[in-house]
Chains A and B, each alone.
Chain A
Amino acid sequence: AQSVTQLDSHVSVSEGTPVLLRCNYSSSYSPSLFWYVQHPNKGLQLLLKYTSAATLVKGINGFEAEFKKSETSFHLTKPSAHMSDAAEYFCVVSDLSGGSNYKLTFGKGTLLTVNP
């Protein structure tokens, strides 16, 4: 079975400071990992994905995440927060334990607040 734990339900940063959103996963197989972002009244948008290639994954809008198998972590970072980054962020895992790699398991989300 696969699962995801987002360690912070709410993170607040000042504009221009670094962002760190933490995620730990559990998976029986080699997982694929994703970060999605959800702005109010908008659909989920893919930020980045890890699929067993490079462990450091770069995404859109300056975000990146590092896959650390020994720590079962996939933390999301950005060097400098922008006001437009304020949104809900979801860490997502998918693996082959169900016989197919199609089903996504979401964390509970981290609400990012960016203060001026």
Chain B
Amino acid sequence: DTGVSQDPRHKITKRGQNVTFRCDPISEHNRLYWYRQTLGQGPEFLTYFQNEAQLEKSRLLSDRFSAERPKGSFSTLEIQRTEQGDSAMYLCASSRQRLGMETQYFGPGTRLLVL
């Protein structure tokens, strides 16, 4: 079990630039989630994939944000025209669909700083 991996671990960018983050879930997990965590807060749900289908997006996810999971494996989260308010830790989690409550396993996160 190699765990959930995320790349890059840190990203510094200037306001207005585009950034893209990658998440590789645990290999047999068909569900993938993105969360955002700001300083002093718990993670907040952004979006969710089951296989390649994006099934829900939070209102936190403005039009500048887009997520994909083209082959039902890895996922990317892109932020266009970054703003200082986008500075946060972006967390990816994955789980295997099953009856009852699933357990989500989290990656180490990508910390974004927008200058």
Chain A residues packing against B (C-beta within 8 Å):
4, 32, 36, 41-46, 49, 51, 90, 92, 94, 98, 100-109
Instruction: State whether A102 and B33 are in contact (beta carbons under 8 Å apart), knowing that A46-B103, A51-B100, A51-B101 are contacts in the complex.
Output: yes
The answer to whether the Cβ of B40 comes within 8 Å of any Cβ in the partner chain is yes
| Complex-state Cα separation, A44 to B42, whole angstroms | 11
Determine whether the beta carbon of A109 is less than 8 Å from that of B33. Answer: no
Residues on B with beta carbons closer than 8 Å to the beta carbon of A100: 55
Whether the pair B42, A49 counts as a contact (CB closer than 8 A) is no
Residue B108 at the A interface, CB < 8 A?
yes
Complex-state Cα separation, A36 to B37, whole angstroms: 14
Contacts of A105 in B (CB 8 A): 45
Residues on B with beta carbons closer than 8 Å to the beta carbon of A32: 101
Bound together, the chains give a CA A41 to CA B101 distance in angstroms of 27
The number of residues on chain B lying at the interface, defined by a beta carbon within 8 Å of a beta carbon of chain A, is 27
Contact partners of A94 in chain B: CB under 8 A: 101
**Cα distance, A4 to B56, chains bound together (Å):** 21
Complex CA distance for A114 and B3, rounded to whole angstroms = 28
Can you list, as one digit per residue, whether each of B84-115 has a CB less than 8 Å from chain A (1) or not (0)?
00000001010100001111111111000000
16 additional contacts (CB under 8 A) given A44-B106, A98-B56, A102-B102: A4-B42, A43-B106, A43-B109, A49-B101, A49-B103, A90-B42, A92-B42, A101-B102, A102-B31, A102-B48, A103-B56, A104-B35, A104-B104, A107-B42, A109-B40, A109-B42
